[in-house]
Structure 1
Amino acid sequence: MSASTKSTSQWDSPPVYDVDIYSDEVIADPYPHYQRIRDAGAAVWLPANGLWAIGRHADVRACLADHETFRSGNGVSGNEAANRMAPGNLLASDPPLHDHLRRIVAAPLSPRGLNDVKGRIEATAEDLVDRLVRRGTFDGMMDLAQYLPVSIVSELVGMPEHGRENMLRWASAVFDMLGGANKRGEDALPVVMEMRAYTVNEATRDKVRPDGWVSMLYEAADKGLIRPEQVQMLMRDYLGPSLDTTIFATGHLLYLLGTNPEQWQMIRDDPSLIPNAINEAVRVESPIRGFTRYLADDKVVGDTLIPKGSRALMLYASANRDERRWEKPETFDVKRVLTDHVGFGHGIHSCAGMQLARLEIRSILTSMVKRVKRVEVGVPVLAMNNVLRGYERLPVRFVAD
């Protein structure tokens, strides 16, 4: 039934969940809150944030696929200050601009584009796992999860050394800005402005690697494919898919393998399960909790009318644990049939860097299968971030075969 045919009185009492979705409490233990949001309704009003929350799997996928109604060009943050800063980049744009920019930015991130670096990533993963097996105990985040993104991918992006040293800090701040209007977001602003100043003043054409991804943006500007002033904006689009999301997904997978040793044994017995294990880890512990969309028109989601001009938070991490879609959704099962999780998003804004993330993590797991009999993990320390879910530290021990 359309909004025009349903009486106004029937929209007067939408489901409400009165909790700050970006608070420390929710970030530290989000899944009970996501459960309550899913149970409350298909679309739930969050008065503390001024957002609608979409938490059920089928609804999140449907809304993400409807990019004409649920628009990204007005920004995808949970706070309007960040949304005013963002429009025009790959994440915060709509077709036809989005499609044009994605063809340019995503070119080196495609399977064809990654062919040139696949061998190097695999060889580096082999050396890394060898060292960590000999070492025994290490920090799974700093020593393993961060290694490939920081040592190789940041070089592929091609920024000068100062930028490479700060990419993790800058990327984390960007994701804090993409969350709610809280102190984390406020504290992130000067860090984000530092990154922007760097891209304008230091990541200039004469200082970036001539064969790097940023250099390709300058070449695209030479060809008239993008405006010169778009180069600095688009180079920032390499931070998220290149770094934090991959790092946190790797950390989650390490922890899940350590706490589910029978699953690691299944992978060792049948390495063809590696790609599915990566997807299952991203489903169980989505590195990105969710982004918002701006409604270009009234939209009925479930039994609730979301008015035009509203902002809806697409909770990927909730959708991926929706018991309406998944049997025992909190369970990590490397043999689970996975076709439609939203850990990498869905629709035209699906993660541009997901093939790179899969390549990096697959290379690590392939190397581990040959050398690591058992993965032992300690208690992880959660990184507090408005949008990202991942660990700051994770004690790990590789028991050699």
Structure 2
Amino acid sequence: MADTATCAPRSALDLYAPDALSNPWPHYRALRDQGAAVWLERVGAFFIGRYEDVHRALNDWQTFSSARGIGLNPVINAAWSEALICTDPPLHAERRRLITQALGPAAIKPVAETIDRRAEQLADALIARGRFDGVADMACDLPIHVVMELIGWPLDVRPSLLAIAENAWNGAGPAGPLTTSGLETMAAMMDLIAEIYDNNRLVPGGYAEQLAQAARRGDIPREAAIGLLAGYVVAAFETTIAAMASGAWLFACNPAEWDKLCANPALAAQAANEIVRMETPLQKFARYVTADATMSDGTMIPADSWAIVSYGSANRDERQFADPDAFVIDRRERQNLGFGHGPHNCAGQGLARMELSAVFGALARRGCRFELDGEPERIVNNIAYGFARLPLRVVRG
């Protein structure tokens, strides 16, 4: 690799320190202001945070490859070598079809009524309670009661999958305590999924069983099936939980935007986009740079480098979005990257959008609003962004 000092600005900023993980936005802005690509001395990788360059990297899979992994350590990249997120086309496209058959628009359309019905029940229950946790009581409801059933995870493992999914993302970080903990959790998750697959314990008729049947027919190897099943944990519920809780926090802190939604619940789909832009559930992934890459400002990233591609930073880039730190549910959308872009755009985004729109639309139609009822607690995670605890109270009238 060429001398990094001649290729890009340098920064000693630790993006993986707890304070930066809990509140990354000022750090992202500082790095964007330095340049289109900044060499992070602490992790030995380039940071790409401007919208134009992130968008380009996500589409240019030949140069910004996922095939060597999406983490900043070799352990997770080896462990997830068969995961969909760690493959490039054409293999990626072939295997992704197995996911989109279950989570694509045509597949999820029949479950819209079920999601809407559960969202209405949830809205009534939250209002009746008066006080609730925006994570445990609100955000987890549809993933537990609808999505896990659709996918077909065995009943006895559902609580375990929720508990381990978030921490597993820590394993994609650089060397450190959070990453060590995440790698241990990731190993436990993969072992659990392998046990479920090998013992044929998936619920008959669910999306996961359909995928397992493809492996047993010989369409894909066993290891690929396990990697794809792991993707269901993320694409179908973990990121949705984070976005749902973040949306509740944003509305609690921005009552004028909640009033807009109450006046016009049809804005729920736009609100879902804005929630994901503001509080991007998965902040950043690594990519291996296969050839010299020139960024929008002329900065060059040399071949055989690692780059951190930040969706979260791109979604707050003032070069792309007017007043990017403001939550505006009827914003004239300029495509945000909260669900990714290009070949690796989120396979479960249709389901996530449906859940977010259903829940916030149902709450808005009831005319109540909610406020913070205590100090929220952020998760501290190398990749994921959201809340561990979000105390809220209903305000009537």
TM-score under structure 1 normalisation?
0.94
Residue in 2 aligned with 1:368?
Answer: 363
User: Who is 2:224 aligned against?
Assistant: 230
- Once residues 202 and 341 of structure 1 are traced to their aligned partners in structure 2, the CA distance between those partners, rounded to angstroms, is 36
Mean CA deviation greater in 316-325 or 192-201: 192-201
Show the counterpart of 1:192.
186
* 1:179 to 2:212 alignment: no
Tell me the matched-pair count. Answer: 395
Q: Distance in 2 between matches of 1:50 and 1:20?
A: 11
- CA shift, 1:65, in A, is 0.9
**Could you tell which deviates more after superposition, 213-222 or 384-393?**
213-222
| Percent identity over paired residues | 35
Alignment of 1:130-169 (within 5 A): 130-169=124-163
Instruction: Quote the Cα distance in structure 1 between the aligned partners of 2:361 and 2:4.
Output: 55
Aligned match for 1:307, one of 297, 302, 305: 302
**Post-superposition CA distance 1:233-261 (Å, at most 9, x none):** 21111011122210111111111111111
SS at match of 2:368: strand
Give, as a single letter, the amino acid of the residue that structure 1 aligns with 2:167.
A
The 5 A counterparts of 1:52-131 are 52-131=46-125
Q: Which residue of 2 aligns with 1:254?
A: 248
Q: Residue 289 of structure 1 is aligned with which of 283, 288, 307? A: 283
Unaligned runs of 5+ in 2: none
Q: Is the 8 A contact 1:372 1:398 kept in 2?
A: no
Candidates 302, 318, 324, aligned match of 1:323: 318
C-alpha separation in 1, matches of 2:24 and 2:193: 34
Q: Is 1:275 equivalent to 2:269 in the alignment?
A: yes
Whole-Å Cα distance in 2 between the matches of residues 90 and 10 of structure 1? 31
Q: Indicate if the aligned counterparts of 1:11 and 1:305 stay in contact, CA closer than 8 A.
A: no
Distance 1:87 1:33 in 2: 31
Give, in whole Å, the separation in 2 of the partners of 1:75 and 1:96.
Answer: 16
Moved more, 374-383 or 201-210: 201-210
CA offset at residue 281 of structure 1?
A: 1.1
SS at structure 1 position matched to 2:121: helix
- Partner-residue secondary structure (3-state), 1:168: helix
Alpha-carbon contact 2:321-2:334 (below 8 Å) kept? no
Which stretches of structure 1, 4 residues or longer, exceed 4 Å deviation after superposition? Answer: 8-11
Structure 2-normalised TM-score? 0.95
Task: State the secondary structure of the residue aligned to 1:27.
Answer: helix
Measured in 1, the distance between the counterparts of 2:271 and 2:11 equals 33
User: Is the 8 Å Cα contact of residues 197 and 212 (structure 2) preserved in structure 1?
Assistant: no
C-alpha separation between the residues in 2 aligned to 1:207 and 1:88? 21
Matches within 5 A, 1:200-239: 200-204=194-198, 206-239=200-233
Determine the structure 1 residue equivalent to 2:391.
Answer: 395
Give the 3-state SS of the residue equivalent to 1:73 in structure 2.
coil
Amino acid at match of 2:171: M
Question: Is 2:331 aligned against 1:336?
Answer: yes
Distance 2:238 2:201 in 1: 24
Amino acid at match of 1:41: G
SS at match of 1:243: helix
Aligned with 1:293: secondary structure? Answer: strand
Give the direction of change, closer, same or farther, for the CA distance of 1:187–1:74 in structure 2 (3 Å limit).
same
Q: What is the RMSD computed on CA atoms of the aligned residues?
A: 1.8
Structure 1 residue 300 displacement after superposition = 1.2
TM-aligned CA deviation for residue 287 of structure 1: 1.0
1:77-99 per-residue CA deviation (whole Å, 9 max, x = no partner) reads 12222112212211000011100
- Contact map agreement 1:171 1:243 (CA 8 A) in 2: no
Task: Tell me the CA shift for residue 9 of structure 1.
Answer: 9.7
